[in-house]
Amino acid sequence: MIAEPNAASTLPSQKENAVHDETVPESPTQNGTCVRNGNLKTPREKRKVREQCENIRRNSPASRRVSQLQNGEVVEAVTLFEVVSMGKQAMQSVVVDWVEAYKQDRNVALLDLINFFIQCSGCQGMVTAEMFQSLYKKDVMQKMTETFDKETGLQYKKFMAYPWILTVTWPMDMDNEDYPLIRTGPYWKKFKANFCEFIAVLVQQCQCSILYDNYLMDTIISLLTGLADSMVRAFRHTSTLAAMKLLTAVVSVHLNLDVNKHNAQRLYEVEKKRLSGKRTSYRLDQLERKRKEYEHKLLEIQNMMNAIFKGTFLTRYRDVIPEIRATCMEEIGNWIKTCPDAFLNDSYLKYVGWMLYDKQAEVRLKCLLGLQGIYSRKELVSRMDLFTNRFKDRIVSMPLDKDHEVAVQAMKLLMLMSQNCGDVLSAEDCEMLYQFVYTTHRPLAVAAGEFLYKRLLSHGGDKVQPKGGKFGASTDQLKRLIHFFLESELHKHVTYLVDSLWDWAGKFLKDWECMTTLLLKNAEEAGEALSDAQESALIEIILATVREAAEGHPPVGRGAAKKILSVKEKKIQLEDCTKITEHFIMVLPQLLAKYSTDAQKVANLLQIPQYYDLDVYSTGHLEKHLDALLREIKDIVAKHSDMSVLEASSRTYYILCREEIAIYSQVDCARTQMIDELMKQLNQLLDCFWQKEGGFCMDAGEISRMHSTLRRVAAFHNAHDLTKWNLYDKTLRFLVFETEHGSLPVLIILPALQCTYFSLLWQLAAVSENSPKETLFPLRRQLRHFSQICTCFLHHKEKDVREKAFMILCDWLLILSHLDSNNNEDAVGLLGYLPNTELQEKLFSFIQEHVFMDGEEEKKDLAEEEKDEACKLDDLHKKRSLLAAYCKLIVYNVVEMTAAAEIYKYYVKTYSDFGDIIKETLSKTRYNDKIQSAKTLILCLQQLFQTHAESQDSSNGVDFSSPSFANIKELARRFSLTFGWDQVKSRESIAMIHKEGIEFAFQGATGGDGKCLPPNLSFLLIISEFSNKLLKPDKRLVTILNLLIRGYILEVYS
């Protein structure tokens, strides 16, 4: 890595380290050494350093300049810190140079290393090192402290790094928590890796020589232990990381020594047997000395490991800084995996288990990753019994963790435990974990899918044994999957189940031949046929797998956007689409014929053709299968009146009837023939229905047939233009009759209203740039007439008709107010329509009556109808749809923005049911016009305040303790929270709220003696909820406001 020029200011500016002899008052016999580290800022500090230190340039190998090119310029590094900052390329050679320097003069080299660790902590002060030679050890230890010198403004830390007594002096601004390990940017992101690499390389280079000299490691361990006890975060974090990496490197040395020791032992035993007849042998003595040497080194290494563990880990694994705790957990996991003989016991595992309960996700994550490395090795699992029994319940609960990554890694750990720990997970645990396949967070769902597939589907369960045959194994897996799906009772979530299993069970989920063969089996084949519920579930699974294979991205809710496929993934997707088309072109007509009477099954099966590669029909000469499909769809339309089936049939025709594909003429002919038959049937019913002008036949059978026919026509009119059949006049007659007489059945009104709406939409879509005015005037009259009918139906006696008319009217107004008509200005002028004030009032009155109904009325309705939970949810869904339709009119300026003030009044009261819709409306209107949106908010608060004031006794003023006033304040607080943290962005809106609020508060002020206060002055208490969003220059207004509030309160209570 090359040092960045802009980081130069953060690096020490001194190019040399200074050494001098110093007399210490406490111990006249000590030899002192002063190492200067960085610049001191004040002249007094500089004088102090000059008086204490005499700079002497050292000419040792460790101080050789390392040069690298950066942007054509030479960047020179002198200190170890600068070399590590520049990258790994020069690190090896510098460590070798440092080792050579240590062998020549270990004190000078150690000062270099001490200086390095202090610099890595971000300290730009001074390090003073004194040799510890005093016999008065207690006096020295009493001075091991960390203090602040008020006279110089410097912070001091004095501690033992045997045989050194180190005094670190640094400016107070080091407490700003800015040091290399936490700095941002690409340069500093690599620093941590380089720092850790340096420690590993240092131990590696020293392991054959100076590592065991009882001087180097003692000093480093003492230094890091002392720094780790500092109150300064930079020292604590840096030294803890260094100590943990140092122990990791020492553990590697321990492993190598252990291997060498065992090798030497084996050679010794072999040599001893070979020379059993001789008493002495030079070779045998040599091997014995080698073995003892290794044992001695192992003993020293173990002492080092214990010193680091007890001196640093035990004091820092529960540090207040989460990064330090995470570092400790990460490294102890590495020690256990690397050296299980020394660390894989409950004395060390307990720390990992305890930290699974840490409040910070980063720490919990490191614990889980460490445990994954242990549980993935079967030879280690047998030694984890006590830990598993103690902490299993905690691990099983962690997939519910609020942090997504922790939850994912917990699920992966449970997968490893399930594979390698036998029956450690109970059936109840597994059932709970299986349900995570339905979660919206895809990585967690995929991990749960792996758990479900490997534990339940691919093996295990085995209630159904393979019976041979072509699809024996796949059939068993499918039946287990169907059984799980039905047992989970989340039938609407099959798409999420398939998506969770896709990465692990994609092969058998794409075995559509096996699935359809299972569906088409005859009931006579004993034990092979599925039940009705199993068939329905399998059809849903087929549809979900087809969709997943054809679209190649997760379902809605599992990902913010569609997945960008790679070239390989696109190739697989095309191959799957071809496979789907070639198989279902022949099989789908058979399936539709078998299940033609089951609406749910047919509706799902009819969605499969939308994923076809339609060119296969012509290229594969499969037109006969297309005819079979069209015949089945025609029969299904004739049999069913269920809207899901009819809409699926209509969409299938829409997919197949594209003008650019070769089969268009064939499908268009079949579609025209079917619609002709539908219209013929409708005309016959109409002739029988209208017996005379102004009357109709009330026969129940005919009404049912009319209802079914109109539903079929409406379903097809939604996706296909039926204008040439002149449907508008036929359905409009029903609506006109209902407005005049009001006696038509609801079963006829609803589809007739829908058909009329679709007819007008298709006529609007047909308006082109060259459409003459003469053709636009009749259309304009039709549009206005239909709007009047919908407005009239808002007060219909039937609730379903009222709600349907409201939804159509809202969509209708939105379309008419935003007409484009292919740049035809005449068409926009004639056909465009905005609701008048009267209509706007009617729309809001409808919302108030049907959505924001009073509690008493709602309780009355519930008591009368005795609705169950499903009905309540269905009603809530309808109310949300009605409110969303009205709010769209506000957002798109069809209705005046001030109308939103009435909606905002219910924000807190109905937050659980409609809070998200109201909040989104507020956000969109603010985006459109932030000033007008702010005025709308203040208007809402003013209206509520006036209502509250009118309900109070005028002689006593406004009651601040009343629930209604508290509700207004809470609403204002909620409004202020919607502005977020960007005060600059919301400055104009907040200023407008204060301006309008203050003007309202001082309305009605009379007299100059101050005895008659404005009646609305207490409104300032409500406006004060927004004052924390003001910028500092604007807060002078708040000061005046607070004074006014105080004066008013004193006046009221005096």
pLDDT in tens, 746-774: 999 999 999 999 999 998 888 865 677 77
For the ranges 209-223, 519-533, 641-655, the one whose mean pLDDT is highest: 641-655
With beta carbons less than 8 A apart as the criterion, state whether 412 and 400 touch: no
The residue assigned the tokens 């009330």 is 698
Cβ 360 vs Cβ 322: under 8 Å = yes
Which tops the pLDDT comparison, 146 or 420?
420
Residue percentage of the chain with pLDDT more than 70 = 77
- Average confidence (pLDDT) over 47-59: 36
Report, as an integer, the average pLDDT of 387-394: 95
Question: What pLDDT is recorded for position 59?
Answer: 35
Tens of pLDDT along 639-672?
999 999 999 999 999 999 988 888 999 999 999 9
pLDDT band at 111 (very low <50, low <70, confident <90, very high): confident
pLDDT digits (tens, 9 = 90+) for 552-567: 888 888 876 667 778 8
Q: Is the pLDDT confidence value at 253 over 80? A: yes
- Residue 295 backbone zone (phi > 0: left; psi -120 to 50: alpha; other: beta): alpha
Could you report the per-residue pLDDT of 310-320, keeping only the tens digit for each? 999 999 999 99
For position 141, what pLDDT does the model report?
Answer: 40
Q: What is the mean pLDDT of residues 60-81?
A: 49
Give phi and psi for 292, each to the nearest 5: -65, -35
pLDDT tens string 483-500: 999 988 776 789 999 999
Cβ(159)–Cβ(166) below 8 Å: yes
Residue 142: per-residue pLDDT: 42
Element (H, E) at 129: strand 126-131
Nearest to 539 by CA among 584, 507, 578, 571: 584
**Closest by CA position to 97, among listed 120, 75, 80, 111:** 80
Mean model confidence pLDDT for the chain: 81
Q: How many CB atoms lie within 10 A of CB 390?
A: 13
Q: What is the pLDDT of residue 769?
A: 58
Q: Per the omega criterion (within 30 degrees of 0), is the bond before 61 cis?
A: no
> Sorting pLDDT into bands at 50, 70 and 90, what band is 586?
very high
> Which pLDDT score, from 0 to 100, does residue 20 have?
34
Poorest-pLDDT segment among 154-163, 698-707, 954-963: 154-163
C-alpha 93/C-alpha 96 separation (Å) is 5
pLDDT of amino acid 86: 73
**Helix ranges (DSSP H) in 595-663:** 599-605, 615-619, 623-639, 643-656
Report d(CA 799, CA 809) in Å as an integer: 15
pLDDT at 131 over 70: no
246: nearest Cα among 269, 223, 265: 223
Supply the pLDDT for residue 475.
86
Q: In this predicted structure, what is the pLDDT of residue 790?
A: 93
Res. 1026 pLDDT band, cuts 50 70 90: confident
